[in-house]
A and B are shown apart, each in its own frame.
Chain A
Amino acid sequence: MEVTATWYLVLSAVLFSMGFVGLLVRRNPLIMFMCIELMLNAVNISFVAFSNALDDIAGRTAVFFVLVVAAAEVVVGLSLVVALMRRRPSLSVDDLTSLRG
């Protein structure tokens, strides 16, 4: 038995779906950000698997860019959470209805 690219892609699909379900279920914005990170990691797994299967370095370069974007996203997201927490006691996305029309 040998580990092929399909194994990684199946794992990636399962991880992505778990992150997706977590994003829909949880109400704490911090946990929701963690679920987004899980989804990004799932994509990274499949990028590297494709990079190996297709013998092409571009997939790994894409992983590098995903890492950078994830770091930027977390910085902005967490500062949003901190800014919101200064004005509201509870930490739940249900309370963030200020933009509702």
Chain B
Amino acid sequence: MVDVIVFGVSAAIILGGALGVIINSHPVRAALSLVASFFGVAVLFVQQQAHFLAVVQVVVYAGAIVVLFLFVIMLLGVDSVDNIADEPLAGQRVTALLLGGMLLALILGGLFLSGPGLDTDGALALTGQSSQTAAVNQLDESQSDIDLLADDLFTRNLLSFEATALLLTIATVGAVVLVRNRGGEDLAVDEPGSAKR
């Protein structure tokens, strides 16, 4: 019963935060709604015994990524409220809602109409093999979440891990290249924030 309450509260926070991101005209408020949503997801991770991922979720998403968002919003001017009442493309919202509803119906249809589902004999329905025999990487309750994850990451997924290291390096270099002020350009003219005295 406690599980149900925790799930209900965090689901409400997640969906409320998501709604806040979509309908808030002010980017800062949208970013703060995003934090609420990320925290809800972290609670769901804790509920499913994924403690390390919950910590990483809070540190990386709610910490680093949202701070980066807020930093850019502030850098670009905090006053820029979107004109949300304005709809330049006629029928865009109705179409978007329709497409979103269709996507949701498609996913839920796939979930509920494709065989017995996860809860009866789920593993069999989803993968064609039962969870007892499938388990190469079986979750062992005696080991902590972080041990299992590290074991999987540094043995079976070592190459992917190296690739993500490369990806992060490329992203960092790319960010520097993109925002660098190429030689000779006058910063006072180029920067919208700089006051022209």
| Chain A positions near chain B (C-beta within 8 angstroms) | 1-11, 13-22, 24-28, 30-31, 33-35, 37-38, 41, 44-45, 48-58, 60-61, 63-65, 67-76, 78-83, 85-87, 89, 91, 94
A5 vs B122: C-alpha distance in the bound complex, in angstroms?
9
Residues B118 and A9 in contact, CB atoms below 8 Å apart: yes
Residues B100 and A24 in contact, CB atoms below 8 Å apart: yes
B17 to chain A, nearest CB (A): 8
With a CB–CB cut-off of 8 A, which chain A residues contact B38?
A: 41
A85 vs B64: C-alpha distance in the bound complex, in angstroms?
22
Residues A18 and B19 in contact, CB atoms below 8 Å apart: yes
**Using an 8 Å CB-CB cutoff, how does the interface string of B41-66 with A read, 1 for contact, 0 for none?**
10011011110010011001100110
Residues A54 and B126 in contact, CB atoms below 8 Å apart: yes
Known: A11-B11, A61-B153, A83-B179. A38 touches B168 (CB 8 A): no
B118 contacts which of A1, A53, A61 (Cβ < 8 Å)? Answer: A53
With a CB–CB cut-off of 8 A, which chain B residues contact A61?
A: 149, 152-153, 156-157
